[in-house]
Structure 1
Amino acid sequence: MGKSDACIQIGRNLSIPDARILIVHVNNHDIVDFTGVPSVVGGQTIFNPTAMFYQFRQGTGPGLIVLEELPQSSVHHQTWAAGFILERRTATFELDPEVRIVVTGNRVEDRAGAKTMLTHLTNRLYEFEMETSLEDWCEWAVANNVDPKGIAFLRMRPNLLNDFDSTQSVNPTQRSWTQLFKEVPDDLPADLYFAACTAKVGEGAAVEWVAARDVISQTPSIDAIRRDPEITPVPEDPAIRYAITTALSATTDPDIFDNDVVYMRRFPREFQMLFMTTSTRFDSRLASMKSFTDWAIASKDFLVGTT
């Protein structure tokens, strides 16, 4: 999950179809790609509309244009962006009033090639500095089929979600963890798997993840838990508890929620809280079920203590 993913999620939250969300990697384009290629008609120079922005012309309705990595771009690109953002038009057409423009980029101190942006450009923007949120990433990860073992590990070691050091070429970040959990085959030989992890998140984080993965892999079958929630053993290891809590909350529904609650009520209260908050966030119907109400009443002292 990176800046582009966050922008796409913003668009979806605004009910903008994916086809109306345009990610523009500014540095991959020449300025004429944005203004339109000129041609001479009747002795006059005209600019042919560029297709990427023409689809957002007046009358086309809501849309989202994301100008990626603008702080890394040239003065020429930033000057163009300043006019485009202020005037909301190209040489040949205006943008629809319901089209929104978002700019992304790294900070100068992140050493990602970003430069201080032109002041007249920044004056035309609302500048927000984003912070890493474990809960937001976990919610996104569950919804995007990230390996539950990886989610459980980062709940146990939240400081590793974004342990960025600008002096290192490889760092554990929410993007690198996501790529690791989704791209590296789980059944690789141990030496190759560790090498891939080191290449993606760095040696220190890789050591911790591989050790935890071996423990988490001992997690009881989710099917067995749901079949016999009163007698399936409750593991003592926190890593396995996090893994089970994540897996159950990501897959529960009104038909199996009661059995999941029976099993989770045998866990320490902090895991019960994690299960309840995560599962009801994904399916609000669960909050109206009797098993949830009974748990909330029985846990009211704990709930008051955590607010």
Structure 2
Amino acid sequence: MTTISSVSLKPSELKALFLKTVPAQLPVLVKGAPGVGKSDILTQVARELETDLIIKHPVVDDPIDYKGLGFKLDGKNEASFLPFGDLKALIDADKPTICFLDDLGQAPPAVQAAAMQLLLARRINGHRVSDHVCFVAATNRKADKAGVSGILEPVKSRFATIVELVPDVDDWIKWALDNGMPSELIAFIRWRPNLLWDFKATSDMTNSPCPRTVANVGKLMLAGIPQELEYQVIAGAAGEAFAVELTGFLQIFRKLPHPDRVLMDPDSALVPDDPATLYALCGALARRVSVQTADNFFAYADRLPEEFSVLLVRDAIHHADEIQHTRRFIKWSADHSDVLI
């Protein structure tokens, strides 16, 4: 279970923070359990800000990767340092660039110490880091059994702020809708939100549910894994408890009336009583709506319990925002004016 502290941010809040700190070149350290989305959020920020993104993995680096390659100057009894690879890219950057130090807490102390001059002095053995570069770092926590030995105190103080990223169901659902995750998986997480995050650090060769592993389940479903292998494959991706619940939910989902039939005859289509079935049906219908089917869609939405009617319309707008310009949406929103869409 995630312990929420006063410095905890959900994904949308961390993204909002990055959108301010990156242009201001303020370094931020993000801690959090494996699979909560640290790297993915920063990738989104780099895309929105149209910045280059250099991802470094200090855990597999040597101190020389942060100082340059030493060489003897011709004809002189002295040496200098030659920047190479990512180091040279940080010096030569001619456009906004994020340098992401991933898994910093797993890096040996010598590598962390070598990185300090990047973070504070912004110099590498006489070579100045480009003014276009902003540094961001991330680390797991010691309790996550991810090989984190800690971060040196002088390194921590180089960051403008240290925050912890924690999962959030609403943020994950928005991400899942934007990234084409299966509607049945999204409906399942709506029904069983606690299963988005049931991370258990273990030395066993097993996975447990977290945003990354649940997304992997979605990718496997999109790949079309055979139904007879679903349980085994899902258990391998996100754990046996998750697989038991999801495969049971999928059995319900597959027995639903086809969404097209509901949209053809919304006045007589069955309205399920079971919450799990309602979540499943709403997830399927939201993917089917269009301006052409809006009248029948809202006719059925009006027959649902208010909680599910709002859920259905919210997800539908995410897929087809043009339905907001239809007369039936205007009427529906007037009838639900006390609910923020």
Q: In the alignment, what sits opposite 1:220? A: 257
Cα shift at 1:294: 1.4
* Corresponding residue to 2:129 among 95, 98, 120: 95
Q: In the alignment, what sits opposite 2:236? A: 199
Inter-partner Cα distance in structure 2 for 1:156 and 1:149: 10
Partner secondary structure for residue 46 of structure 2 = helix
Corresponding position: 1:64 with 2:102: no
Q: In the alignment, what sits opposite 1:74? A: 108
Q: In the alignment, what sits opposite 1:133? A: 168
Partner secondary structure for residue 101 of structure 1 = strand
Counterpart AA for 1:60: D
- After TM superposition, list the pairs within 5 Å mapping 1:106-255 onto structure 2: 106-125=140-159, 126-167=161-202, 169=204, 170-183=207-220, 185-190=223-228, 192-250=229-287, 252=289, 254=291
Do 1:164 and 1:171's aligned partners in 2 also have CA atoms closer than 8 Å?
yes
Do 2:38 and 2:165's aligned partners in 1 also have CA atoms closer than 8 Å?
no
Inter-partner Cα distance in structure 2 for 1:92 and 1:248: 61
Aligned length: 300
Q: In the alignment, what sits opposite 1:47? A: 81
Inter-partner Cα distance in structure 2 for 1:117 and 1:86: 15
Counterpart AA for 2:119: I
Inter-partner Cα distance in structure 2 for 1:31 and 1:201: 36
Inter-partner Cα distance in structure 1 for 2:293 and 2:133: 43
Deviation sequence 1:183-229 (CA, Å, 0-9, x none): 25544252x32222222222222111111111112233344444444
Identity of aligned residues (%): 28
Corresponding position: 1:9 with 2:41: no
Inter-partner Cα distance in structure 2 for 1:103 and 1:244: 41
Counterpart AA for 2:226: L
Inter-partner Cα distance in structure 2 for 1:40 and 1:254: 71
Counterpart AA for 2:165: M
Greater mean alpha carbon deviation, residues 46-55 or residues 134-143: 46-55
Inter-partner Cα distance in structure 2 for 1:89 and 1:282: 47
Inter-partner Cα distance in structure 2 for 1:253 and 1:25: 45
Inter-partner Cα distance in structure 2 for 1:281 and 1:88: 43
Partner secondary structure for residue 216 of structure 2 = helix
TM score, norm. by length of structure 2: 0.78
Q: In the alignment, what sits opposite 1:260? A: 297
Gaps in structure 1 of 5+ consecutive residues: none
Cα shift at 1:252: 4.5
* Corresponding residue to 1:34 among 56, 66, 71: 66
Inter-partner Cα distance in structure 1 for 2:94 and 2:59: 27
Deviation sequence 1:220-243 (CA, Å, 0-9, x none): 334444444444443444333223
Partner secondary structure for residue 8 of structure 1 = helix
Change (3 A) 1:254 1:248: same
Do 2:65 and 2:87's aligned partners in 1 also have CA atoms closer than 8 Å?
no
Do 1:58 and 1:94's aligned partners in 2 also have CA atoms closer than 8 Å?
no
Inter-partner Cα distance in structure 2 for 1:100 and 1:253: 43
Cα shift at 1:155: 0.8
Greater mean alpha carbon deviation, residues 63-72 or residues 274-283: 274-283
Inter-partner Cα distance in structure 1 for 2:319 and 2:46: 19
Q: In the alignment, what sits opposite 1:296? A: 333
Do 1:62 and 1:96's aligned partners in 2 also have CA atoms closer than 8 Å?
no
